[in-house]
């Protein structure tokens, strides 16, 4: 597994997927090698997975690519026991010819529509658009974690992909011990958990909430390494509204899970990333969810989700939730329970791992080889 920060998972959906999938593949008899970005005291195994730690260039545009290049070269030179490579992030597709020359079957987990992220300038967006096309042209298989991504690659390139979603942890009976020191009580706050990036619409949520008549506080968990101006705008609004509480990053997983499990309403503004692990975690915790109205979020939440279209819709959405909690708390609880049930039925890590194993077997047997796809866009 190549192209991420590696495990233990401390950052992002790819890392969580590798940790959850990898340990299950090992449990069921596979050998899993994970490439990780450098650590001062790197461990060599984790949950049965073998780890290789390699450095990277510490720069936004080069961090992923530099590490992936070193990982691919290391992988090729230890070719003796590599049956299949899974490359995460379509940006890394420029290295696929090296793997093909080494006759290593490869699948690319393409992630979401990365070129739509505001943190990338014109050249970055062009690069990601190109990388999508190269993934289609050079990978033996594509992996999409959301139906919207499957549809995108089919519409744009006429290319099919393996639709393998993420899993959702089912969180029950967590208590409140770790949120009480924060001055929070069960069902008495709204919650946002997201990196502070424009495509996650944290600023829109904070601004829309500030214009509402909501009485429950808005608790915001998150930060951003490359978005100082964006963060400053969020902080400025929070400084003028005592109802808004910015917690920064919460790295205690038990505390974060309790924040999810005890909120009256989880607000989710992600718009380009496919199936989002934060959204799945909220569902698994039985949260009531109000999400930005995009195809990815509707596909994940199904009939039990509520939605807002833009900043102007945030205020009415939180006011509706608070009115429902007062007027009909059982209906509110049913929505959260319905989402938890959906998470348990549809988003199971055991099933996800089984699909990865089955795909890997087909790759190894050359049943998924797709050489010669042009990678040209239909539009």
Q: What is the pLDDT of residues 283-320, one digit of tens each?
A: 999 999 999 999 889 989 999 999 999 999 999 999 99
Number of domains in the chain: 2
Average pLDDT, stretch 121-129? Answer: 80
19 and 160, same domain (yes or no) = yes
In a domain, 3, yes or no: no
Reference 4, options 56, 79, 80, 61; nearest CA is: 56
In a domain, 372, yes or no: no
CB hemisphere CA count around 27 (13 angstroms): 11
Dihedrals phi, psi of 264, to nearest 5 degrees = -85, -15
61 and 196, same domain (yes or no) = no
233 and 137, same domain (yes or no) = no
In a domain, 47, yes or no: yes
Residues 126 and 121: their CA atoms lie apart, in Å, by 9
List Cα–Cα distances, 356 to 8, 90, 325, in angstroms: 19, 18, 41
- What are 359's two structure tokens? 């795909």
353 and 326, same domain (yes or no) = no
In a domain, 284, yes or no: yes
Write out the residue range of the structural domain in which residue 96 sits: 12-166+349-364
210 and 161, same domain (yes or no) = no
- Greatest mean pLDDT among 22-31, 155-164, 363-372 lies in 22-31
334 and 191, same domain (yes or no) = yes
Q: What is the three-class DSSP state of 270?
A: coil
Residues 127 and 64: their CA atoms lie apart, in Å, by 13
Percent of all residues in the chain with a pLDDT value above 70, rounded to a whole number: 93
In a domain, 369, yes or no: no
In a domain, 66, yes or no: yes
184 and 113, same domain (yes or no) = no
CATH of the domain at 285: 3.40.50.2000
In a domain, 175, yes or no: no
Reference 245, options 311, 306, 174, 179; nearest CA is: 179
List Cα–Cα distances, 115 to 14, 90, 126, 324, in angstroms: 17, 10, 7, 38
339 and 356, same domain (yes or no) = no
161 and 203, same domain (yes or no) = no
User: Is the separation of the CB atoms in 190 and 318 below 8 Å?
Assistant: yes
- Left if phi > 0, otherwise alpha if psi is -120 to 50, otherwise beta: which for 274? left
151 and 223, same domain (yes or no) = no
pTM: predicted TM-score of the whole model, two decimal places: 0.86
């Amino acid at each position: 597994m190549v192209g991420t920060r590696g495990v233990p998972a401390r950052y992002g959906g790819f890392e969580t997927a590798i940790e959850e999938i990898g340990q299950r593949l090992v449990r069921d008899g596979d050998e899993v090698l994970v490439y990780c970005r450098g650590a001062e005291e790197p461990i060599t195994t984790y949950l049965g997975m073998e780890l290789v730690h390699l450095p990277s260039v510490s720069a936004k545009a080069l961090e992923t690519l530099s590490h992936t290049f070193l990982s691919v070269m290391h992988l090729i030179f230890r070719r003796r026991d590599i049956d299949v490579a899974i490359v995460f992030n379509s940006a890394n597709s420029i290295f696929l010819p090296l793997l093909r020359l080494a006759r290593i079957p490869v699948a690319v987990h393409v992630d979401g529509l990365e070129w739509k992220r505001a943190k990338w300038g014109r050249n970055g967006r062009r690069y990601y658009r190109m990388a999508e096309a190269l993934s289609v042209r050079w990978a033996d298989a594509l992996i999409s974690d959301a139906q919207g991504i499957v549809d995108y690659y089919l519409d744009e390139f006429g290319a099919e992909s393996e639709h393998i979603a993420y899993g959702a942890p089912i969180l029950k009976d967590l208590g409140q011990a770790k949120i009480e020191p924060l001055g929070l009580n069960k069902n008495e706050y709204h919650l946002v958990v997201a990196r502070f990036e424009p495509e996650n619409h944290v600023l829109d949520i904070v601004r829309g909430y500030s214009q509402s008549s909501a009485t429950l506080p808005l608790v915001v968990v998150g930060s951003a390494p490359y978005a100082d101006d964006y963060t400053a705008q969020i902080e400025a609004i929070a400084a003028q509204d005592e109802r808004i509480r910015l917690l920064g990053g919460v790295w205690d997983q038990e505390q974060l899970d309790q924040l999810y499990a005890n909120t009256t309403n989880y607000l989710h503004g992600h718009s380009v990333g496919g199936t989002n692990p934060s959204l799945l975690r909220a569902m698994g915790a039985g949260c009531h969810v109000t999400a930005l109205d995009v195809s990815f979020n509707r596909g994940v939440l199904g009939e039990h989700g509520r939605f807002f279209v833009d900043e102007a819709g945030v205020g009415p959405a939180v006011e509706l939730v608070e009115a429902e909690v007062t007027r009909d708390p059982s209906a509110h609880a049913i929505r959260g329970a319905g989402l938890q049930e959906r998470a348990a039925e549809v988003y199971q890590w055991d099933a996800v791992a089984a699909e990865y194993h089955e795909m890997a077997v087909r790759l190894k047997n050359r049943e998924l080889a797709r050489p010669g796809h042009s990678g040209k866009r239909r539009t």
